[in-house]
Amino acid sequence: MKALFEGLFTVFKHLFMKPVTLEYPEKKPEIPDAFRGKPVVKGCIGCGICQKVCPSGAISIVKTMQGEVISYVIDAKKCIFCGNCEYYCPKDAIQMTKDYELASEDKNDLKFTYRGGEDD
Ligand code: SF4
Ligand code: SF4
């Protein structure tokens, strides 16, 4: 009997408390500025520094013989969203965005491709 009243008391107490969960995806959480989501590339010169500092080998860059960037790919299956690429890029060409909704049923969607160093 005591346990029943304790349970009821807990239920009533929580009726008047602010919910700690959100009705996602209808309601979205506020994302802090320091959040590291999907990396986006724009204005890449193909120096390759980001590739060297990426701890998980998630970045592939294809260049012409003259060093022009043909394609720049970040594999989200490997990326650990550490932000090293953004931090070390001398041209500020990589931005870690607030985009966290990256789930997909097709693993090909998890390769972010930028042609010529720009958004695809
Ligand atoms: S965020 Fe980290 S793991 Fe992801 S591509 Fe950049 S350096 Fe690599
Ligand atoms: S994204 Fe930045 S660090 Fe990476 S290859 Fe391009 S210019 Fe160099």
State whether residue 107 is helix, strand or coil. helix
d(CA 15, CA 11): 6
Could you give all domains of the chain from N- to C-terminal order, each with its CATH number? 31-115 (3.30.70.3270)
Beta bridge partners of 40: 95
Return the beta strands (E) in 23-97 as ranges.
39-41, 59-63, 69-75, 94-96
Q: Per residue of the chain (120 residues), what is the pLDDT tens digit?
A: 889 999 999 999 888 898 889 999 999 999 999 999 999 999 999 999 999 999 999 999 999 999 899 999 999 999 999 999 999 999 999 999 999 999 999 998 999 999 865 555
pLDDT (0 to 100) of residue 120 = 54
The ligand whose atoms approach the alpha carbon of 90 most closely is 2
**3-class secondary-structure state, position 54:** coil
* Ligand 1 contact, 104 CB (< 6 A): no
81 in contact with ligand 1, CB cutoff 6 A: yes
**Structure tokens of 106?**
């097709």
